Chains A and B, each alone.
Chain A
């Protein structure tokens, strides 16, 4: 997923970065 997040835009966007963090927290919770 992280790799996919990186390829949506050529330049980073704040909105997508926030969603990437949200996903990372969700994924970390799944692992715990």
Chain B
């Protein structure tokens, strides 16, 4: 059965299905109950499942994550919502020092099957703390898994896969794509969560991207096609662990790679991908891996965010540099 849904609605449906399937699944977060969350992702779920399973928490991220650690120890599968990317940092200590390490600390006895949902990225004209891309902090922390959906179908399936995972998953939702509609297939068997997807096939260069940048890269590939350049677009889907098999199979064919992300360039996910591809495919590639990313500055005021965010033009300029190398 297929249905056209926004990513926001698809996430809501996925969460509802997870709550129905397993009584140990609980949701917690700021304003997620009566209000349904600031983006309405959890709309209607407290009315349906009650205040003991969809919990309005105090405004305290450290407390939200810390409570979820205790719930995991008692066999629950908490799904916590961080209202905006920039607000995760009060809970960062809990995530890095407790959530990521608990399974190893207990010699494999106590897993942390927790999902930390974070609306991330810019492009919505918001003030500071509301447009950040903190994925590299989490991907740099062993013990955490980090994924990002880029369309409604992945949102519906991946949120359920994350909840079923026995490991803690940082689930990044591209907030500026919340209201983009896509066809959701409710019956098809989903791809594994930790697998990248080739969303457009091409032959001249590979664009590697995730979350909000997938649509931007697809737009860039469409423009490039009009100019006679064939770009392949790989949606990473999983940022930690990274699906090197799919990435390398693509780059082996196109021999050129450009990584695109909103997060600042220095020590971002693009740096890791570039290093790994240079280690493994140095003699295969025709040009160095290039990066199109946010600049190394705090996220700028909304009126100039269009200059900061990777755009179709910036991507195509970098493709030209790669092809001319």
Residues of A at under 8 Å CB distance from B?
3-4, 6-11, 13-16
Contact = CB atoms under 8 A, between A and B. Distances in A.
A11 B108 contact: no
Nearest to B111: A10
A14 B194 contact: yes
Nearest to B107: A7
A14 B244 contact: yes
Using C-beta atoms within 8 Å of the partner chain, give the interface range for chain B: 20 to 34
Contacts of B194: 13-14
11 contacts: A7-B103, A7-B108, A10-B108, A11-B166, A13-B145, A13-B241, A14-B241, A14-B243, A14-B244, A15-B242, A16-B142
Contacts of B107: 3, 7
B229 interface: no
Contact of A8 (B143, B165, B243): B143
A18 B165 CA distance: 21
B68 to A, nearest CB: 16
The residue in A3, A4, A6, A9 that gathers the most chain B C-beta atoms within 10 A of its C-beta is A9
A14 B241 CA distance: 7
A16 B165 CA distance: 17
The residue in B111, B142, B166 that gathers the most chain A C-beta atoms within 10 A of its C-beta is B142
Interface of B: 103-104, 106-108, 111, 113, 142-143, 145, 165-167, 194, 240-245
Given A7-B103, A14-B244, 18 more contacts: A6-B108, A7-B107, A8-B103, A10-B103, A10-B108, A10-B111, A10-B113, A10-B167, A11-B165, A11-B167, A13-B145, A13-B241, A14-B243, A15-B241, A15-B242, A15-B244, A16-B142, A16-B241
B323 to A, nearest CB: 30
A14 B300 CA distance: 37
Nearest to B104: A7
Nearest to B144: A9
Contacts of B145: 9, 13
Contact of B104 (A8, A11, A15): A8
B299 to A, nearest CB: 29
A9 B167 contact: yes
A6 B103 CA distance: 10
B95 to A, nearest CB: 15
A14 B193 CA distance: 13
A9 B41 CA distance: 29
Contacts of B143: 8-9
Contacts of B108: 6-7, 10
Contacts of A4: 104
